Structure 1
Amino acid sequence: MNSELLDYTVLFVEDDIGVKQRVSESLRRYFKQVYEAQDGEQGLALYKKHKPDILFLDIDLPKLSGLALLQKVRENDPVTKAVMLTAHTELDMLLQATELKLTKYIIKPLNRKALQETVQMLVEEMRSYQIIPQKNLQLKNEYMWNVQTEILTHKNEEIKLTPNEKKIFMHLIRYPNRVFSYNDIIAHVWEDPYDKQGPLRTAIKNLRKKLPEDTIVSVYGEGLKLQT
């Protein structure tokens, strides 16, 4: 892997303060944004707020276990990558939870080599299944997004997007049908996120006019998603 920080968000939930500090520092060598939580309930709240791309969860957490947390995530989110940290004695319980779509489990204590290999696997898998490697994204009513040229067309006619409209659209197409919070979108589009709710509403309103009806859908109390 190269030295450039990866543009994915990570949530790490671990109740051991020393382990949380050491692993978080290691994760920040790879990822630009790492959120931390010390129990399952706090982890779930941070997940709902930030909608991270990757979860690193200790299986044995206070208030809400790692498995219970991931079960709640999977109720509406089948795509976020999940890595579970587990002791040998917990492995049988973990292996029974096949419906949780774990990307990987790691036996504790976590060492640098295991973390590096896990990060490499996560990145390769995410890049393989995201829209980015594809050439075109076909939308409804003969609309097309060319990933390579970053141009939106309708019946081969180019539709001009402002820089902010393009940033919003490109952020949403990372995971079609996944809900992104308004704060997450704001943080992605504007360097200074202060008081940007109004500009975001305006940009979304204008972007919707340039796309097929119901392409960008509001999810009450959660955020926005691109519906394909």
Structure 2
Amino acid sequence: MKYRILIVEDELVTLSMLSKVLKEDYNVITAVNGKKAFELYKKFNPHVIISDLKMPIMDGIELIKKIREIDQNSKIIITTFKDDIDTLLAATELKLFKYLIKPINLIELKKIIVNSLEELSRFNTISLDSIKISNDLIWKRDEFELYNDNKILKLTPKEKKVLNFLLTKPNQVFTYNEIIYEVWQKNDEMGDRKTLKTIITGLRKKIINIHISNVYGFGYKIECF
């Protein structure tokens, strides 16, 4: 699977250059303003976002803020001119991975992308046998069982699959299509949003102290405390 990279840049020559260089190794998505970029972000859920700061319609800061409302994990790389540094400082609390001063050094950019993906792989994918969801809730991956106050909760096989997948990246939103593929289509089964919604509703009813959030028009995330 190729990693997905969203490039947001209103300077078309720069956008074309970055896209041409990076599409050899990654699935590249492009946008010329923040508004379009956010639409593409919700559709493709990219692993890395490379964004200019000053753009029409929606600038880079506003775009990053909207992304961070639903996703704390995607790696964001900002490109900026030296005279935009003050604007960049305003975004420091938004968990930027790196920033690059224009004109962009492509060798440096490639290294930063590799480092960001290594960190994403190292820290965002949980493979522990036991995952603490809350004080009382423990998901035991090796047993494929959910414990509430040390007692096994009865869940259907599909409920367990949805729960297990959401817990690979707690507190991060998965798109509807990502969940459906993992739970059904990966096994050549039929699944859709309506069926997924029914399973999420079932999990919420059976597990009163679980927090599964719906990001409207995008997907679901499970919150761990």
Cα separation, partners in 2 of 1:23 and 1:171, compared to 1, 3 Å: farther
One-letter code aligned to 2:41: Y
TM-score (norm 2): 0.74
> Which of 77, 95, 103 is 1:101 aligned to?
95
RMSD: 3.6
Cα separation, partners in 2 of 1:101 and 1:218, compared to 1, 3 Å: closer
One-letter code aligned to 1:15: D
Cα separation, partners in 2 of 1:84 and 1:142, compared to 1, 3 Å: same
Gapped regions of structure 1 (runs ≥ 5):
none
1:207-226 equivalent positions in 2, closer than 5 A:
213-226=209-222
In the TM superposition, residue 159 of structure 1 has moved relative to its aligned partner by: 6.7
Percent identity at matched positions?
33
> Which of 14, 17, 21 is 2:12 aligned to?
17
Structure 2 distance, partners of 1:109, 1:152, is 52
The SS at the match of 2:115 is helix
Structure 1 distance, partners of 2:161, 2:114, is 26
TM-score (norm 1): 0.73
Structure 1 distance, partners of 2:221, 2:182, is 15
The answer as to whether partners of 2:22 and 2:28 remain within 8 angstroms in 1 is: yes
The SS at the match of 1:47 is helix
1:80 and 2:74 matched: yes
Count of residues in Structure 1 that have an aligned counterpart in Structure 2:
220
Gapped regions of structure 2 (runs ≥ 5):
none
Q: Residue 144 of structure 1 corresponds to which residue in structure 2?
A: 138
1:184-223 equivalent positions in 2, closer than 5 A:
184-189=178-183, 190=185, 196-205=192-201, 213-223=209-219
**Range with bigger deviation, 186-195 or 36-45:** 186-195
Q: Residue 2 of structure 2 corresponds to which residue in structure 1?
A: 5
Cα separation, partners in 2 of 1:205 and 1:99, compared to 1, 3 Å: closer
The SS at the match of 2:174 is coil
